[in-house]
């Protein structure tokens, strides 16, 4: 039999048709096959089915044409078959399907009936809610908990069992009651705010059991009483502020038992007494400040019982006495100054002996002090000298600018090694006089200019001798801090 598929199967047996189709490529439409015996239809169908089931094409091989829907395998309605497609009238396509398996996320349990265990990942309390309750977040237990609705927002109503997580008492409020936090019970309880009139006029009154967390005594106050903190009882108690007249005139009086937490003596004060702290007794006691006249003239006097915490003797001093510390009695006591009181140990002198005084003070004649000599000269007294007086000659340092310091000497010498300027001296004092010897070096012909304070006759500065080794002398006297009169005498050598 040739490889081409015959187009006419007239008179062929089914087996012949099957054999003709086996291993062949079917080209063209099947409807071109003619004269297939009716008896061969069943065999041909089987043969075609076998060929179709054993033959496949790649998707890229299909480029055009129409899919014969009759050749798509379709499953029986309601029957699952992974090799067949579902019919369009299958009830499974229109009915809902219940999920199965374990739930996750905010759900717990298993499908189809999981339970809501969380909201946005936060646990929900297992407590069963009652009518009117809502879920609120409890930061203490870290879960959503059923609580009574406060009635806000949507117009709902309900009893609030807590405010800011603090329980509210269940007692029914009376007229003008307000909530007050009860620290002992740890709850908001009810107290009266007074009458409706009080509340309406902004002058509501109520009984305060505490002020700044300190209890207030329950004693009914009397006229002009004020609160005073009682540190012993740890409460605010009541004391009298004086009379109504005192209070009205801002001169209220009361008895203070302490000043700065230090007790005050109960002794009645006398005229001109003042409070003085008694360290031994640990109290404020009373001492006299003198007479009323003393106080009125700002020259009040009082008796000092101590100096630097050392007791003062009660013995009255006499004229010219001083206070002296007595190491035996540990007191300051009046005493007369005697020779023996000025001791070397106190670095004082012996007034009875100059020699002892110098020795006590560590002063030696000749090294520490100069011995008295009637022939000594004084700066503020006119002197007649009976012996020669001399001043040293100070050498000035040569340089481009030479600046003498007139506090070193009266007389100076300067050797010129080049052209120089004699600048204005420093430390100048009016009345000082002296001479400056000006020497030319071995070269000679050196010049000398002068500062502005040097004044010469006629206003012209002199010219030096030019011979090598020659000596000129400049005599001067200071007229003022800015004027030095000078005369140059030339060629002494």
Q: Is the dihedral of CA 160, 166, 170, 173 positive or negative?
A: negative
> Tokens 């300051």, residue?
332
Confidence of residue 247 (pLDDT cuts 50, 70, 90): very low
Higher-confidence position of 168 and 487: 487
Positive or negative torsion for Cα 62, 66, 69, 71: negative
Confidence of residue 10 (pLDDT cuts 50, 70, 90): low
Residue of 330, 304, 327, 329 whose CA lies nearest to 317: 304
- Average pLDDT score over the chain: 78
Per-residue pLDDT averaged across 43-71, rounded?
59
Average pLDDT over residues 1-23: 54
- Residue 28 resides in a domain: yes
Helices marked H in 4-130: 14-21, 41-54
- Give the count of beta carbons closer than 10 Å to the beta carbon of residue 191: 14
Task: Identify the pLDDT of residue 140.
Answer: 87
Long-range Cβ pairs for the range 12-16 (8 Å, 24+):
12/36, 12/37, 12/40, 13/37, 13/40, 14/39, 14/40, 14/42, 14/43, 14/44, 14/47, 15/43
Average pLDDT (211-219) is: 87
Mean pLDDT of 290-305: 56
pLDDT of residue 294: 47
Q: What is the pTM of this model?
A: 0.32
Q: What number is the average pLDDT over the span 372-400?
A: 88
Strand order across the beta sheet in which 433-440 lies: 393-395, 411-416, 433-440, 471-480, 483-489, 454-455
Query: Is residue 448, in this structure, part of any structural domain at all?
Result: yes
Q: Are 438 and 411 in contact (CB under 8 A)?
A: no
β partners of residue 162: 167
Choice between 174 and 202, residue whose per-residue pLDDT is larger = 174
User: Nearest to residue 439, comparing CAs of 477, 391, 484, 493?
Assistant: 493
Phi, psi of 449 (to 5 degrees): -95, 165
Token match 């009255």: residue?
Answer: 316
Tell me, what's the pLDDT at 1? 41
Q: Are 440 and 467 in contact (CB under 8 A)?
A: yes
Give the model's confidence band at 418: pLDDT under 50 very low, under 70 low, under 90 confident, else very high.
Answer: very high
- Split at pLDDT 50, 70, 90, the class of 20 is low
Name the residue range of residue 464's domain: 393-489
pLDDT at 471: 97
Contact 41, 65 (CB under 8 A): no
pLDDT of residue 52: 46
Question: For residue 311, is it within any domain?
Answer: no
**Is pLDDT above 60 for 343?**
no
Q: Does the pLDDT at position 246 exceed 50?
A: no
Q: What number is the average pLDDT over the span 210-227?
A: 86
Least Cα distance to 464 among 483, 491, 435 occurs for 491
Q: Is residue 52 part of a domain?
A: yes
Contact yes or no for 243/250 (Cβ under 8 A): no
User: How would residue 57 be classed by pLDDT, with cut points 50, 70 and 90?
Assistant: low
Question: Tokens 């012993």 identify what position?
Answer: 232
Mean pLDDT across 353-381: 79
* Confidence band of 90 (pLDDT split at 50, 70, 90): confident
The per-residue pLDDT for 22 is: 56
SS3 label, residue 8: strand
Inside any domain, residue 464 = yes
* Per-residue pLDDT tens over the stretch 444-471: 999 999 999 999 999 999 999 999 999 9
Is 409:434 a contact under the CB 8 Å cutoff? yes
- Which pLDDT score, from 0 to 100, does residue 29 have? 41
pLDDT at 460: 95
Residues 148-166 have pLDDT tens digits of: 775 444 444 557 788 888 8
Average pLDDT over residues 252-280: 82
- pLDDT at residue number 96: 65
Is the residue at 39 inside a domain?
A: yes
Pairing of strands 133-138, 115-116: unpaired
Q: Examine the pLDDT at 202 and tell me if it is beyond 80.
A: no
* 163-198 pLDDT, tens digit each: 888 888 888 888 878 888 888 888 888 887 655 444
The average pLDDT across 436-448 equals 96
The pLDDT value given to residue 28:
43
Residue 441 lies in a domain: yes
State the DSSP H helix or E strand holding residue 203, giving kind and residue range, or none if neither. Answer: none
Count how many domains the chain has. 2
Does residue 439 belong to any structural domain of this protein? Answer: yes
Write down the pLDDT at residue 436. 97
Confidence category of residue 67, pLDDT binned at 50, 70, 90 = low
Tens digits of residue pLDDT in 345-361 = 555 555 567 777 777 77
270: pLDDT strictly greater than 90: no
């Amino acid at each position: 039999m040739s490889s081409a598929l015959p187009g006419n199967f007239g008179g062929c047996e089914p087996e012949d048709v099957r054999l003709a189709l086996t291993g062949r490529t079917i080209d063209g439409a099947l409807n071109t096959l003619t004269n297939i015996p009716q008896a061969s239809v069943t065999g041909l169908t089987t043969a075609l089915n076998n060929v179709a089931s054993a033959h496949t094409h790649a998707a890229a091989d299909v480029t055009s044409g129409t899919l014969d829907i009759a050749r798509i395998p379709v499953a029986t309605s309601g029957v699952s078959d992974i090799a067949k497609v579902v019919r369009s009238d299958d009830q499974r396509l229109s009915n809902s399907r219940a999920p199965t398996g374990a739930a996750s996320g905010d759900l717990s349990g298993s499908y189809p009936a999981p339970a809501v265990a969380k909201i946005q990942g936060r646990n929900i309390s297992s407590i069963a809610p009652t009518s009117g309750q809502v879920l609120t977040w409890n930061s203490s237990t870290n879960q959503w908990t059923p609580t009574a609705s406060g009635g806000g927002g949507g117009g709902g109503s309900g009893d609030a069992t807590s405010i800011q997580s603090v329980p509210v008492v269940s007692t029914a409020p009376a007229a003008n009651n307000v909530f007050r936090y009860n620290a002992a019970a740890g709850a908001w309880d009810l107290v009266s705010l007074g009458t409706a009139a009080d509340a309406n006029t902004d002058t509501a009154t109520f009984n305060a059991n505490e002020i700044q967390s300190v209890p207030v005594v329950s004693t009914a106050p009397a006229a002009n009483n004020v609160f005073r903190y009682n540190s012993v009882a740890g409460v605010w108690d009541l004391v009298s502020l004086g009379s109504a007249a005192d209070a009205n005139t801002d001169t209220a009086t009361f008895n203070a038992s302490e000043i700065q937490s230090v007790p005050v003596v109960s002794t009645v004060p006398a005229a001109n007494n003042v409070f003085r702290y008694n360290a031994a007794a640990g109290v404020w006691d009373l001492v006299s400040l003198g007479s009323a006249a003393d106080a009125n003239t700002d020259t009040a006097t009082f008796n000092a019982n101590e100096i630097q915490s050392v007791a003062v003797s009660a013995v009255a001093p006499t004229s010219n006495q001083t206070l002296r510390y007595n190491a035996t009695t540990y007191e300051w006591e009046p005493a007369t100054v005697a020779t023996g009181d000025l001791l070397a140990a106190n670095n004082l002198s012996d007034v009875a002996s100059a020699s002892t005084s110098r020795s006590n003070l560590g002063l030696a004649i000749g090294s520490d002090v100069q011995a008295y000599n009637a022939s000594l000269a004084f700066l503020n007294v006119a002197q007649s000298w009976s012996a020669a007086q001399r001043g040293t000659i100070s050498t000035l340092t040569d340089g481009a600018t030479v600046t003498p310091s007139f506090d070193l000497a009266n007389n100076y010498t300067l050797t010129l090694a080049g052209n120089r300027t004699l600048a204005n001296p420093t430390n100048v004092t009016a009345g000082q006089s002296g001479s400056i010897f000006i020497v030319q070096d071995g070269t000679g012909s050196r010049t000398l200019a002068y500062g502005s304070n040097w004044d010469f006759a006629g206003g012209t500065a002199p010219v030096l001798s030019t011979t090598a080794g020659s000596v000129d002398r400049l005599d001067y006297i200071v007229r003022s801090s800015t004027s030095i009169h000078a005369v140059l005498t030339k060629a002494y050598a």
